[in-house]
Amino acid sequence: MTARSRARHPRRRDGRRRLDHSGRGAAAVVRETMLNTAAAGGALCILLTLAALFFQVSLIMFKTGSMAPTIPAGSLAVVRSVPVAEVRLGDVVTVERQGKLPVTHRVTSVSLSADGHSGVLTMKGDANPVEDPAPYTVSTVRTVLWSAPGLAQWVAKASSPFVLGGVTLAVAALVTWSLWPREEQAGEEHAGQEGRDGEERRTEQLSEAAADA
């Protein structure tokens, strides 16, 4: 091997080292980004759970267009459970129906009982020409706080058991990958252990030399 070719090898090794460090840096960025995304999703789930427990807030999906154009079909709405005494004319509320799906329409009249613990509501969908056929006797309702069109289908898809199972497996794999020991870390630990062993040997040699003296 000539002197010129020998001089080139350190550059090649340096190039390989730079590529290795660049690849590891890119992998670290991807890993951190995915972990941050998973953490943000987990935090959102925790916030929604706490909101449901302490503030009686939940989500509903609109399958029909009876409240269009205010709330078209396929919308997702945030609702909060409140006593009927807090209901006002013009509020959009969800009421439960015995043996039927809940209905979400606009309140057209409110008649409270003497104690105010229950009441009779008449309601009408914004897209319907007439009021609902019968009034609703309720003690609590869910009032609509906010709604967004087109989100219901995505929430329905995300609630699928297959999607939930896939997300769970993906998060588990991501955590395992992020915590798995890296070759660089293993090399550094090995080098550190060798350094400690060398220091111990030198200390022992110095002690033996001092004893012999």
75 CB burial (10 A radius; 0-12, 13-18, 19+): buried
> How far does Cα 40 stand from its chain's mean position?
5
Q: Tell me, what's the pLDDT at 90?
A: 96
Amino acid symbol at 106: R
Whether the pTM exceeds 0.75: the reply is: no
- Tell me the two tokens of residue 138: 């309720």
State both tokens at 156. Answer: 């329905």
For the record, the structure tokens of 155 come out as: 């929430």
Give CA–CA dist 4/13, Å, rounded: 15
pLDDT on residue 167? 67
For residues 65 and 138, what is the distance between their CA atoms, to the nearest angstrom? Answer: 24
The pLDDT profile of the chain, 213 residues, written as one tens digit per residue, is: 554 444 444 455 555 545 455 556 676 777 777 777 777 777 777 877 777 778 788 889 999 999 999 999 999 999 999 999 999 999 999 999 988 889 999 999 999 999 989 999 999 999 999 999 999 999 999 999 999 999 888 777 676 676 667 767 776 777 777 667 665 555 555 555 565 666 666 676 666 666 665
Between CA 145 and CA 187 the distance in angstroms is 56
User: Residue 69, preceding bond cis, omega within 30 degrees?
Assistant: yes
Return the exposure string of 141-150: e unless at least 16 CB atoms fall within 10 Å of the residue's CB, then b.
bbbbeebeee
Residue-level pLDDT at 3: 45
Q: Which of 48, 65, 66 is nearest to 57 (CA)?
A: 48
The pairs formed by 22-31 with CB atoms below 8 angstroms and a separation of 24 or more are 24/182, 24/184, 31/177, 31/178
97 is written with which tokens? 């129906």
Cβ atoms of residues 138 and 95 within 8 Å? yes
